[in-house]
Structure 1
Amino acid sequence: MPTRVHDCHQPWVVSQKFEWTVSGLITAAEFHFLNVFVGTTINFVGGPYSGAIKEPDLLIQPDNQHLPSVIIESGWSESVPRLRDDMNLWLVGGGGKVRAAIILSWQRLSNTNQVRGNLELYTLDRNGMPQHNTDLAIFPSPTPAVAAAQQLILTRREVFGDHVPPGRNPTDQLPFSINILRGEARDALQLMGLIPA
């Protein structure tokens, strides 16, 4: 059963999508075009994993596209190698439709009430193979100045996939604030009786 910290990425993604809209990075129509789903069953119909069934912890899916463009796999009890296997299934099995995979791993430190958190970002290289782009510590948190500036950046093409609206630059950057994720995780841990490492 997912814990609160396991699911803290859900309000994070929703808030980032809202921030993109109010800052003018996406329009209201584009906001509604990008669907966010949680725990939705996706069937792979083609490619090396044809017949596979997967339920990401969160997905961003351009309207009416079978596969998501961005997925998040979060692990509280799952091992990092297992989360990376999931990432490979999505990026390789997605046939270029799944453009980015975010891995969130949460680990309780032995015999303490402290939790370590880490984020990894994988995207596709020019050959359509997964490449590790980003590795960020969520907890322990860096200095306040560094923490405030930390962002995960995806391009408009990575988020909108093959559906970048006409007239929009596919290389525009859509930021995800790591500090907002950190705040969501801190709140979730508090409700669980735990604290950040």
Structure 2
Amino acid sequence: MTPDELSKILLLDEYQVLGIPQEDFARLEPHIGNRAYTYRPATGELRIKVPSQIHGTVSSWASDLRQEGEVVGAFDCRDLSLISEGSLQGFMGEYEGIIKVPDCAIVPRGRFWPTLVFEFGYTEPYEDLKADVKLSLEGSAGKISKIIIIKLDPLRDGETEIQKGFVEIWHLVDGQVKKHGRRKSLFPPPRSHAEQKLELSLRDILRSQLDNLANEGWGKEDTIALHF
């Protein structure tokens, strides 16, 4: 595949799964641009998400959580970076060599690995999102605290509003990837929509930087609420 051929494919407004040999990836990678992707060199599989206005929702959730932490006095939001184009490398075990660019991630100052990763799926199948969850949690050996999945069913012909969507939190427990709590519905909006929120502990948000970045009076079990 040539760079021009890849660029034409990426003009399509949909999720793409491509075969790219390892020897060609370094040459083609700069043409992926600011898209989230996962590349598995052992199989040559490249999965790319084409950014859309809806994908901006993911960044806004991460930004809202960061801002809420400052509003309630838990930490200085400037100590938490939002990463939407940086690649994650250094995965271990069966995931060694894989390159992952998440939709969005929160990285506390002084850490290499993010603590929270947000993954958004529209045309991307739910099973592929779960594969990303396993990669991030198992491949980082739990250095990533939580993965937040936001999944919407694509609009069908004639539809103008999203009919189904949900959010889930995943984490690593005793080396096993497990869902944290229950799935929360986004669409159709539940009656309790105004009260819906995700609660994330400072331990999960700050991890090894808890003692350095948490404000006085805030401990690892205290939580920050993300309303949606």
Contact kept in structure 2, 1:39 and 1:55, CA below 8 Å: yes
| 1:194 paired residue number | none
Sequence identity (%): 25
Number of positions where the alignment pairs a residue of Structure 1 with one of Structure 2:
172
> Structure 1 residue 130 and structure 2 residue 177: aligned?
yes
Counterpart residue type for residue 177 of structure 2: P
Secondary structure of the 1:43 match is coil
| 1:52 paired residue number | 98
Equivalent positions of 1:3-152 (< 5 A) are 3-24=52-73, 26-28=74-76, 31-111=77-157, 112-115=159-162, 116-125=164-173, 127-133=174-180, 134-143=182-191, 146-152=192-198
| 1:174 paired residue number | 224
Contact kept in structure 1, 2:91 and 2:139, CA below 8 Å: no
| 1:192 paired residue number | none
Per the TM alignment, residue 109 of structure 1 is displaced from its structure 2 partner at its CA by 4.0
Per the TM alignment, residue 124 of structure 1 is displaced from its structure 2 partner at its CA by 2.1
**CA distance in structure 2 between the partners assigned to 1:154 and 1:3 by the alignment:** 27
**CA distance in structure 1 between the partners assigned to 2:90 and 2:152 by the alignment:** 28
Q: Which has the higher contact order (CA 8 A, sep 6+)?
A: 1
> Structure 1 residue 2 and structure 2 residue 51: aligned?
yes
Contact kept in structure 2, 1:6 and 1:106, CA below 8 Å: no
Structure 1 range deviating more: 44-53 or 15-24: 44-53
**CA distance in structure 1 between the partners assigned to 2:122 and 2:85 by the alignment:** 15
Per the TM alignment, residue 79 of structure 1 is displaced from its structure 2 partner at its CA by 0.2
- Offset from partner CA, 1:29-83 (integer Å, 9 cap, x none): xx22211111311112534422111000000112132211110111111100000
Runs of 4+ in 1 over 4 A off after TM superposition: none
Instruction: Report the structure number with the largest CA radius of gyration.
Output: 2
> Could you tell me the TM-score, scaled by structure 2's length?
0.70
**CA distance in structure 1 between the partners assigned to 2:165 and 2:178 by the alignment:** 21
